[in-house]
Amino acid sequence: MGKTLIEKIIARNLHDENVKAGDIVTVDVDRVMIHDIFIPFVADKFKEMGFKKIWDTDKVVLIYDHLVPASQTDDTRHFRAGDAFAEEFGPIHVHRSDGICHQLMPELGYVKPGDVVFGTDSHTVTYGCVGAFSTGIGYTEMAGILGTGKLWIRVPQTIRVNINGKLPENVSAKDIILTVIGDLRADGATYQSLEFAGDTVDALSVAGRMTISNMTVEAGAKCGLFVPDDKTAAYCGLGGTLPEELAQLRPDEDAVYSRVMEYRAEDFVPVMACPSQVDSIRPVAELAPEEISVDQVFLGSCTNGRLEDLRSAASVLKDRHIAPFVKMIVTPASRSIYEAAAKEGILDILSEAGAMITHPSCGLCCGRAGGILTDDEVVVATNNRNFLGRMGTSKVRIYLASPLTAAVCALEGKITVPAAYKE
Amino acid sequence: MGMTIAEKIVALAAGVPEAKAGDIHTVELDYLMSNDGTTHLTVDMYNSLKHPRIADKNKLVWIVDHNVPCDSPKTAASQKKMRDFAKLNGITFYEGEGVCHQVMAEKYVCPGQLIFGADSHTCTYGALGAFGTGVGCTDYLYGMVTGKSWVLVPETLRFVLTGELSHGVTARDLILTIIGKIGANGANYKAMEFTGPAMKTLSMSDRLSICNLCVEAGAKTALMEVDEITLEYLAQHGGRTPKACFTSDPDAVFAAEYEINLSEVVPVTAKPHFVDNIAPVSECADVAIDEAFLGSCNNGRLEDLRLAAEIIRGRKVAPKVRFLVVPASREVYNAALKEGLLNVFMEAGAIVMNPNCSVCWGSCQGVIGEGEVLVSTGTRNFKGRAGDKNSFVYLASAATVTASAIAGKITQAF
Amino acid sequence: MEQFSGKIWVLGDDIDTDIIMPTEYLALKTIDDMRPYAFSPLRPELAGRICPGDIIVAGKNFGCGSSREQAPEVIKALGIRCVIASSYARIFFRNAINNGLLLIENSEIQKAVKEGDEIEVHVGEYILHDGVKYPVSSLPQNLLDILDAGGLVKAMQRLNGIV
């Protein structure tokens, strides 16, 4: 019987061709990511468990991103705890202000196709964009992995999502994944793998695939996978073509799926996730007549803080200014994205349009600083969650959208349908 | 009898031919600046008035700069109150455009004006020959409602600057040295006036930095004469014309006069926890730091960023040090971006933020933890100012701060 | 099998981790420091009213959202004896087991109960409410092993020979 992509990845990890969905197996971990909020807890549990050394220090990446820059006086304790842990049990890889963990892991080459990766963050699913199995775990399990290099998992069943055709010009990867989450609902893929395929998906950049993989957890998925291709190889620094050994990382024709969803790319429209559930999806065109005024726009996060996202917003804002009394906060996802956007003149365009450009970090998405709001305010944001109270009080209304839609909303000061984006 | 600059500005604002130190005059205010530190309180007081009115909305400039981007639901509510009021009443309003005093200098302040700001560092405007002074909410509200206020005319301490700063010594070192000399209350209630042949060697950026810090010596205001450098700055910033350009009369009376030879100034730091606790940087070498801050209305201008970039270009911030670089305004940010300075800092591993008060305000962005040490170009090093009550702030120049960020300990740049 | 009874608190569908423990308080030093803020975006009063031994009954997708382990830990710290929900988000599920917080899956009882009711839980067998029995299933063996050890930390301590 044929295998899905997740079954292939796990079979490769275990050197066992008989692996199938539903099996409970123990995988060898290729890489782990820990971020600043949880490092003190991981360190405590690791010691409490009685471990004396990390199983493989080169496989451990520690990233400070949620608390950068510190916004509460106790925040820097987390940096000190991380530094102390790295000193005692390292050398591990530490990034202290280089950007958001999920951007850095693929960008800096810590994740390769076929890898099995765990992180102390639910959006660890992002690395499915390069055909890696990656998912979020808690700090106790992370401490266990640091000691043993292993973790048990149940091999998930797979929902296949086929998308074919050409996307309308005002639609981006964000609109695709929001639409799919709307159809699946917030628990529609719980315990399952989402596998994306079709010529629309093939045509997406790795950045676009990253946006999609990143949000699969919002449908409850354990992972969101793309078949690695030449673009993946180039992104991961493996050369212009995918190495032979990794070409096996594709689902079999006769793989068994729990569900198959079919989409025509032409049918997608710009959408938003409305307050306060990620699966509360409506077309922007349906919201626009309600004249919903916008107080703030947030462009950033591991979902949509990449160069092409900033470029898309800049295409709308060039030589224009955001609406009076509207704030726009731009938080690039990594240091290298910030630098590239500065070199390309994108930051000039955004700043001259009135946006505030912050240092790369989680920023507003994690709700600790970076643009917190108050009762009755409306924010259009490009990140991944609009949960109640996520960005301030529980009376803040959060709409999730693509960078293009968000930029148009900043310009008009109200929820507005974006026109086609021309590069 | 001759008048000082301070006396002349008050006389003009009061519409009287003469004012002298010790007089109390009712004055017409030119601008009333207020920021998100306290404006929500002013709004509350305004709304509780029996017959609230705004004398002249064009005199009000409101600037959100302290917690930007916003860091908590509480500050968000305060800022919303301020924003909604500004929107409703047609008040000039800026948010995220930079630190209030820098924005005021770039867009509004004119020589000869009398300006109230609901912030102690309003004395910055003396760099442009204007009498700026910090007031509380009640004074601010009175000015907002009547367009007027009363002023006790200050005595003036005169500083005659001679010589020239050595390479690697900045205007910041100069003013810290002066504060160290006269003490944190050495200029209480007084104006500090700067003059002398060395003035022509000081850029507008230097002058803003000097006047800005005068409140740390207790000064009510700081003042400088208008010269070509002032006029050129005004021309480049919206072509503003002076209300009046004053110099102190030869027979004006000064409370004291100091001569400062700039060539004798060395790089200094204000050690914890007082701004007048001054020591040469060389005496503090080897103090390990956790964070370095380049920014604020004192030292976040283009010239400061250029100096810092020159030092850090091609080098790296020490591994565990957080180097926070925060341009003072959008104008500064955009210029630094175009000159490639921001990428110099990024490539060095710095944290580059949007223009705002940042850790100088110490309530959110970049706050330091228990036992940590910050070396800062900010305005104050009071105990707990930058975060935890048991933390330590050293004030120093952009050059010293940058060199320290690279070395991981307090270090003289040149 | 173990059995107990308790007073219930009723919550809806999709109770996310940001509701259970908002990010604002996530970096507080201890779980005890965080306890007063549990569920605060949705029901600010709840943390102060929950008593040891109480039970939460919720709808589908309980614990969706982030990987923060503070979510099950704070529920445990409030003294909640167990959570009964129609379904759980996967990371929350793992984190709860690893911390020894009992989770029970049942999607019928929500229709019958109201807040404040007393229910009786027979672990691995059924829940009793108002004379009606709601069957519940048992957990897979590998999870029971972790629970048996008293959570993952204890299981690892056993591995390292320190208990």
Surface of A (352-381) touching B: CB under 8 A: 352, 354, 356-359, 363-364, 368-375, 377
Q: How far apart are CA C32 and CA C44, in angstroms?
A: 16
Instruction: List CB contacts (< 8 A) between C28 and chain A.
Output: 74
Query: What's the pLDDT band for A389 if we cut at 50, 70, 90?
Result: very high
Q: How far apart are CA A84 and CA A93, in angstroms?
A: 13
Average pLDDT estimate for B301-321: 98
Which residues, listed in sequence order, are joined to residue A296 by a DSSP beta bridge?
A327, A379
pLDDT at A423: 44
Q: Which of B229, B245, B262 finishes a domain?
A: B262
Specify whether A243 is located in the same domain as A301: no
Specify whether B275 is located in the same domain as B179: no
Chain A residue with Cα closest to C95: A138
Q: How far apart are CA A39 and CA A81, in angstroms?
A: 7
Mean of all residue pLDDT scores within chain B: 97
What does the block give as tokens for C146? Answer: 């972790």
The single residue listed with the structure tokens 């109480």 is C54
Calculate the alpha carbon distances from A180 to A161, A278, B164, C62 in Å.
9, 11, 68, 21
Chains that touch B (3 or more CB pairs under 8 A): A
Residue C143 sits at the chain A interface (C-beta within 8 Å)? no
Specify whether A260 is located in the same domain as A276: no
Residue A27 falls inside a structural domain:
yes
Contact present, B394 and B270 (Cβ < 8 Å): yes
The total of structural domains in chain A comes to 2
What stretches in chain C show pLDDT beneath 50?
Answer: none
For A89-129, the pLDDT digits (tens) are 999 999 999 999 999 999 999 999 999 999 999 999 999 99
Q: Which of A246, A265, A284 finishes a domain?
A: A265
pLDDT at C7: 97
Q: Which domain holds residue B348?
A: 269-407
Specify whether B240 is located in the same domain as B368: no
pLDDT at B92: 98
Q: How many CB pairs under 8 A join A and B?
A: 129
Contact present, B293 and B192 (Cβ < 8 Å): no
Residue A417 falls inside a structural domain:
no
Contact present, B112 and B243 (Cβ < 8 Å): yes
Q: Residue type for A320, please?
A: R
For B94-142, the pLDDT digits (tens) are 999 999 999 999 999 999 999 999 999 999 999 999 999 999 999 999 9
The single residue listed with the structure tokens 């109150």 is B81
Residue B89 sits at the chain A interface (C-beta within 8 Å)? no
CATH of the domain at A326: 3.30.499.10
Specify whether B210 is located in the same domain as B75: yes
Instruction: List CB contacts (< 8 A) between A73 and chain B.
Output: 367-370, 387-388
Q: Which domains does chain C have, with CATH numbers?
A: 3-159 (3.20.19.10)
What does the block give as tokens for B249? Answer: 């009369």
pLDDT at C138: 80
A348: nearest CB among B320, B334, B350: B334
Chain B residue with Cα closest to A334: B346
- pLDDT exceeds cutoff 70 at A22: yes
| Largest pairwise CA distance in chain B | 62
Q: Give the orientation angle of helix B73-89 with respect to helix B39-47, to 10 degrees.
A: 60
C23: closest CA of chain A, how far (Å): 6
Instruction: List CB contacts (< 8 A) between A373 and chain B.
Output: 70, 73, 76
A181: closest CA of chain B, how far (Å): 29
Contact C28 A48 (CB under 8 A): no
Contact A24 C42 (CB under 8 A): no
Residue B412 falls inside a structural domain:
no
Residue B83 sits at the chain A interface (C-beta within 8 Å)? yes
A152: nearest CB among C68, C142, C157: C142
Residue B70 sits at the chain A interface (C-beta within 8 Å)? yes
Q: How far apart are CA C24 and CA B364, in angstroms?
A: 13
For A226-268, the pLDDT digits (tens) are 999 999 999 999 998 999 999 999 999 999 999 999 999 999 9
Contact present, B104 and B98 (Cβ < 8 Å): no
String of DSSP letters for A316-378: HHTT--PPTT-EEEEE-SBHHHHHHHHHTTHHHHHHHTT-EEPPSSSGGGGTSSSS-B-TT-E
Q: Residue type for A410, please?
A: A
Specify whether B146 is located in the same domain as B200: yes
pLDDT at A420: 60
Specify whether B246 is located in the same domain as B349: no
Contact A138 C69 (CB under 8 A): yes
Specify whether A252 is located in the same domain as A303: no
Q: Which of B262, B291, B323 finishes a domain?
A: B262
Residue B95 sits at the chain A interface (C-beta within 8 Å)? yes
Contact A138 C68 (CB under 8 A): yes
Specify whether B296 is located in the same domain as B371: yes
Best of A80, A141, A278, A364 to mutate (most C CBs within 10 Å, chain C): A141
Mean of all residue pLDDT scores within chain A: 97
For A261-283, the pLDDT digits (tens) are 999 999 999 999 999 999 999 99
Contact A71 B347 (CB under 8 A): no
String of DSSP letters for B338-361: HTTHHHHHHHHT-EE--SS-GGGT
Residue A418 falls inside a structural domain:
no
Chains that touch C (3 or more CB pairs under 8 A): A
Residue B238 sits at the chain A interface (C-beta within 8 Å)? no
Chain A residue with Cα closest to B96: A356
Contact A138 C42 (CB under 8 A): no
Q: How far apart are CA A318 and CA A352, in angstroms?
A: 8
Buried b (16+ CB within 10 A) or exposed e, C63-90: bbbbbbbbbbbbbbbbebbbbbbbbbbb
Specify whether B101 is located in the same domain as B248: yes
Q: Which of A265, A287, A316 finishes a domain?
A: A265
Best of B92, B94, B337, B374 to mutate (most A CBs within 10 Å, chain A): B337
Burial class of residue A135, CB neighbours in 10 A (0-12, 13-18, 19+): buried
- pLDDT exceeds cutoff 90 at B331: yes
DSSP 8-class letter at A384: S
pLDDT at C1: 64
Q: Closest by alpha carbon to B300, among B224, B354, B233, B368?
A: B354
Instruction: List CB contacts (< 8 A) between C24 and chain A.
Output: 367-368
pLDDT at C147: 80
Specify whether B164 is located in the same domain as B276: no
Contact A137 C27 (CB under 8 A): no
- Evaluate if pTM is beyond 0.90: yes
Best of C21, C103, C156 to mutate (most A CBs within 10 Å, chain A): C156
For C52-77, the pLDDT digits (tens) are 999 999 999 999 999 999 999 999 99
Q: Closest by alpha carbon to A374, among B36, B284, C147?
A: B36
Q: How far apart are CA A276 and CA A296, in angstroms?
A: 16
What does the block give as tokens for B277? Answer: 């606790």
CATH of the domain at B398: 3.30.499.10
Predicted ipTM > 0.90: yes
Residue C87 preceded by cis peptide, ω within 30: no
Specify whether B104 is located in the same domain as B229: yes
Q: Which of B204, B234, B262 finishes a domain?
A: B262
pLDDT at B37: 94
Specify whether B313 is located in the same domain as B184: no
Contact C18 A41 (CB under 8 A): no
Instruction: List CB contacts (< 8 A) between B388 and chain A.
Output: 73-74
DSSP 8-class letter at A216: G
Contact A327 B69 (CB under 8 A): yes
Q: Which domain holds residue A385?
A: 272-412
Query: What's the pLDDT band for A422 if we cut at 50, 70, 90?
Result: very low
C14: nearest CB among A41, A66, A277: A277
Residue B198 sits at the chain A interface (C-beta within 8 Å)? no
pLDDT at C141: 81
The total of structural domains in chain B comes to 2
Specify whether B43 is located in the same domain as B156: yes
Q: Which of A239, A265, A291 finishes a domain?
A: A265
| A223-226 sheet: strands from edge to edge | A223-226, A193-197, A158-164, A259-264
Chains that touch A (3 or more CB pairs under 8 A): B, C
Q: DSSP 3-state assignment of A155?
A: coil
